[in-house]
Structures are given as C-alpha cells and as structure tokens.
Amino acid sequence: MTDRYCVVGQPIGHSKSPQIHAAFATQTQQNIDYQAIEAPLEGFVTTMQAFFAQGGHGANVTVPFKQQAYDWVDTLTERARRAGAVNTLVKQSDGTLLGDNTDGAGLVTDLLHHHVELRDKRIMVVGAGGAARGVLLPLLEQEPASLMIVNRTEQKAQQLAAAFGEAGPITSHAVDSPMAAPVDVIINATSASLHQSYPPLPQGAIGPATTVYDMVYQAGSTTSNQWAQRQGAGRCLDGLGMLVEQAAESFAIWRGCRPQTERVREQLREALNQ
C-alpha cells in the first residue's frame, strides 16, 4: 500500500519537495506518494483536514502556513514550540497530529556537511523573523562561544535574544555599532537576496576567516553572498543544502530511515544552474 504525503503552500508550483522526496523514496525503497498541494490563503486547515481524512500520513508546510500549522496541531515538539512555527506534520497512531520543525536541523546539518565549525565559534544571525527564530535553538545546541542577533529593528532582535536567553550565550547587537572583531559565521536569515539586496550588518562583522551562509538559494551566487564576497568574506554558502537536509529530517521522522543526501544535492544544483 502506498502511503500519502504532501507539501502545502501558497504558491507551491516552485516547490522542489516532490522531487526531493521521490528521490529519497527510490533510494530507501519506501512506497510513498508525495504531492504538492496549493491551499487557498484562508483554507489551510480545511485543505489539510481533507488530506488526512483521505488517508494522508504526513505533510510538509511552507509559506505562508507555518504559523497556522503551529496553532492547528494537537501536540508540538520542543523545537517546533521554540521556533513558533511548524513545517512538518505527522499523523500519529492515535489519529492526532504532531507538529515539528526541521528547518534548524537542516541548517546545522548543512553547515556541518560543509565542515563549518560551530562549537566555540562566534555566530551572527541576521534577521529576527520566523526564519531566524526557527534556527536559534539548533544553533545554540552546537555550543557556540556566542550567538548574536542583528536586525534593522533592534527591538525585535532584543526580544528574540531574550526569548532564548536560557538556551545559551545569545545577545543582540545594533546594526550601527561596529564590531571589535569579525565573527566566525554569519547566517543571513533575511530575504534580501530575493530582492537583489543584502542584509544590514555592523561594520567589521566580516573578515577573511568569516563564513557567510545565505538561507536563500539562486542559480550561481546569491545577491547577498556576492556582496559578502566583496566585503572580504572567506567563504560563502547558500541554502540549497538546507532545503535538502530539512527534507531528509522530515523523511526520517515519517519513515524511520534517513536517506543519503549527497546525490540529491548534486542533482538540484545541476538543475538550478542549467
């Protein structure tokens, strides 16, 4: 019997999730059907109720429904609760729905895949929205020396840092306050590259040993990463690997086996650059 899964969003035509999960299923010999579903902006809950009533086993949730999913599920994992958003739905044996968030795990796995050291390093996260919030706990679990949040609106950065204060050495830093020394890793959790722009950074944040990671991915280098390279960043990475790794985390939750991601990464990169 084929188990049904989906990704739901608005719009959803651009999603690479069906391709990724089809590759995972083939590799692991799992009998699943994974489709993309476009839900009306006001119809997320009714769309998902119908999907699960028709035998759905699990789902991925993308923009703009992650907060609605968070409010709708019966129970939350700790990382989803802290993220304030859900990107993975799991139908449990008793029929209830569990909400999880695999974005942060996907980011950390991708960074480690690229041999970016996080333990005892100085990390800067740029942005204070949902994308930033979703990765803070997994980053702090890597035991960095410090994690600072930078945002155009400093108050939002302060509030976010306060919300995670007991989880590790996290602070906020003003955009207009120069850095005494460059940081080791910068995570761009803004959508600046989608608007051909770059994120706000304090003067002196980037140095020749700094790795800059843009959660956005594009053919070639993202706009923000191009800018970071001009500022002297030692290394720039984009978020394509994060997309694959958060999907692998979801797949492992659903199916109990973790797929290999290297070939899928290569295939997506080749298609993106064609």
**Tens of pLDDT along 15-40?**
999 999 999 999 999 999 999 999 99
Which strand ranges, in their side-by-side order, compose the sheet holding 56-61?
A: 32-38, 3-9, 56-61, 88-91, 97-100, 75-76
203 close to 142: Cβ distance less than 8 angstroms: no
Domains and CATH numbers, the chain: 3-101 (3.40.50.10860), 104-240 (3.40.50.720)
Question: Token pair for residue 55?
Answer: 């035998």
Catalytic center residues: 66
Distances (CA, A) of 10 to 40, 130, 180, 241, 243: 7, 17, 43, 22, 17
| Residue-level pLDDT at 274 | 84
For the chain, 274 residues long, give each residue's pLDDT as a single digit of tens. Answer: 899 999 999 999 999 999 999 999 999 999 999 999 999 999 999 999 999 999 999 999 999 999 999 999 999 999 999 999 999 999 999 999 999 999 999 999 999 999 999 999 999 999 999 999 999 999 999 999 999 999 999 999 999 999 999 999 999 999 999 999 999 999 999 999 989 999 999 999 999 999 999 999 999 999 999 999 999 999 999 999 999 999 999 999 999 999 999 999 999 999 998 8
Distances (CA, A) of 256 to 67, 101, 159, 241, 250: 26, 17, 37, 21, 10
Tell me the pairing of strands 170-172 and 146-150: parallel
